[in-house]
A and B are shown apart, each in its own frame.
Chain A
């Protein structure tokens, strides 16, 4: 309990507040992210005590993930890779003239997702960690394979195009040094290509640059977004009845987000898309998704925030970071002599309690800050589109450059911007490309590791029960959908750019 109460010291609370504000700003600006905020602020925490240090880093992390929804809703440009799926319904709802409602729903369900993640981290962390320990490379490869088969559900009616988009994403992610043997692939002698394309550059190019270039036509016509003219709505943007109707959807999104978070490396960038697809598939009204529905915003926002708690479970239970941000957090903890792992519960129980308290406080502060600033965020839309989109494009270029301080990332956003625009014109969905791009490296690493471990024996994926279930279900669902698509039957349709 001492650790829990330590967070309520005024100085610590102030640090958490600052962390939340900076995190939200980094999350909201396309190209910047919570990971970058945590990395930049890490040196400032060296001189702090362990509770203050971990509290401010967690506030930055949560703020960065939650802040991503602002740009996704208002500009239809993901603030972070974790809020891509928020565009499909949040952006659409804002476009339909309800930006306050979209933000209200997103902010509230971000809080719910965060609290769900913290709850699981606090109470069932050791149990989840011991289950996760049963996962070897076969199981990880099978789970990621299953996630990849969800690409078939990300179509806007034509599944073949979705699969082509997913394959293109997989191929672009292969550029650079290959996993396992470090062989260079598709680098064509260009040194910058050795490290491949950065996820941030791909995301900015595919979504932001495409949006800016496409928006140029509307802006020139003088089209004003309806959102800017809409009035303010009461409360959080939804009724108690709507809240009750979304309980199942919320639980499913949170569980998927948490589960993806526990898998090392993948994180919120794919959790939101996978949760969106899962919730859509499980919904009685899949046709609502992509039309500006509450369901889609919840699926994306509850999952990416629940993922934060998920990524911390392997960190504190096993000493394995769940994503890039928690890898930096691991460094922050080790600087203060804390070694995450199975012994942390015995040796640093107070610090774990402090982490839980800091996450609860940060989640509530983020909720209050964002709800309080909703009106200000929406007012941004009243700016003339030519000014707003030009500034956004400039920030995107800065975000891509500052990610690694290399000009190659700026050129990359142009390449992906062109591809994104081409996809839009050819009516090829962008989401499968993103999912393929994010998951390729993890899939190939675990797949090849599994094959190498079992001397090239492919049957191992079918003799181990967990991997067999994921692979069979994945293949069966994909074949079924592919057959329907080729025969001309329609997959559940949603309108999505």
Chain B
């Protein structure tokens, strides 16, 4: 099966499942209809139904295309190494958001920046010197952003353990 067909089938299945879940949960929306109002459940149910319909159309269209033009099994060309920076970046962001309030902006941002710069750096450029430079940049950036936002723009940022 072609890679594009696999992607389309997955997209269609996700749309159907998501639409069905939305339709199911919209059943618990409280109805307070007054006069000619349609109520708050109408629109979610309509759009969820539409999404299921579109998912089915996409599925039928893809399956029909596969039957019309059957193609030999394609070798997977995914390079597993590509997922490492992606997953690491997501995990780093999750940790950042979890630390953002308890540890405060300065510490959480400093940790995030250093970690993210390491995650994104080419392997051949990883060394004590470059990590030292990134640490300095992270410290200066965190401090500068904190001062600009809290002092110049008077926007509050979590001070964490410094607060």
Contacts and interface: CB of A to CB of B under 8 A. Distances in A.
A393 B116 contact: yes
Contact of B97 (A161, A222, A407, A453): A407
A318 interface: no
Given A185-B26, A407-B97, A452-B35, A216 B157 contact: no
Contacts of B101: 407
A106 to B, nearest CB: 25
Contacts of A100: none
Given A219-B121, A402-B157, A164 B54 contact: yes
A214 interface: yes
Contact of A160 (B34, B57, B124): B57
A221 B85 CA distance: 10
B43 interface: yes
A456 B36 contact: yes
Interface string A420-445: 01000111100000000000100010
Contact of B122 (A222, A387, A393, A421): A222
A190 interface: no
A214 B47 CA distance: 30
Given A213-B90, A426-B7, A456-B38, A410 B100 contact: yes
Interface in A200-219: 209, 212-217, 219
Contacts of B162: none
Contacts of A391: 113, 141
A174 interface: yes
A216 B51 contact: no
A411 B85 contact: no
A479 interface: no
Nearest to B88: A216
Looking at chain B, what size class is its interface with the partner chain?
35 or more
Contact of A486 (B26, B51, B61, B142): B61
A333 B154 CA distance: 23
Nearest to A393: B116
Given A183-B40, A390-B116, A167 B47 contact: yes
Interface string B14-25: 110011001001
Given A174-B43, A219-B121, A451 B153 contact: no
Nearest to A412: B97
DSSP majority for the A interface?
A: helix
Contacts, number: 196
Interface string A12-52: 00000000000000000000000000001000000000000
B19 A448 contact: no
A455 B36 contact: yes
B51 A417 contact: no
Contacts of B156: 402, 405
A454 interface: yes
A171 B141 contact: no
Nearest to B16: A164
Given A164-B58, A405-B156, A394 B113 contact: yes
Q: Which 9 A-B pairs have the closest CB atoms?
A: A456-B36, A386-B120, A178-B40, A216-B85, A222-B122, A219-B120, A390-B116, A455-B36, A183-B40
Interface of A: 40, 158, 160-161, 163-164, 167-168, 170-171, 174, 178, 180-181, 183-186, 209, 212-217, 219-222, 384-387, 389-391, 393-395, 397-398, 401-402, 405, 407, 410-411, 414, 417-418, 421, 425-428, 440, 444, 447-448, 451-457, 486, 488
29 contacts: A40-B153, A167-B50, A167-B54, A171-B18, A171-B48, A181-B37, A181-B40, A183-B32, A185-B26, A185-B40, A185-B41, A186-B44, A217-B86, A384-B121, A390-B112, A394-B112, A395-B145, A397-B100, A398-B157, A402-B155, A402-B157, A405-B156, A414-B94, A417-B90, A427-B11, A451-B37, A452-B35, A456-B37, A488-B65
Interface of B: 4, 7-8, 10-11, 14-15, 18-19, 22, 25-26, 29-41, 43-44, 47-48, 50-51, 54-55, 57-58, 61, 65, 82, 85-86, 88-90, 93-94, 96-97, 100-101, 105, 109, 112-113, 116-117, 119-125, 134, 137-138, 141-142, 145, 149, 153-158
Given A219-B121, A390-B116, A398-B157, 4 more contacts: A161-B58, A171-B18, A181-B39, A397-B109
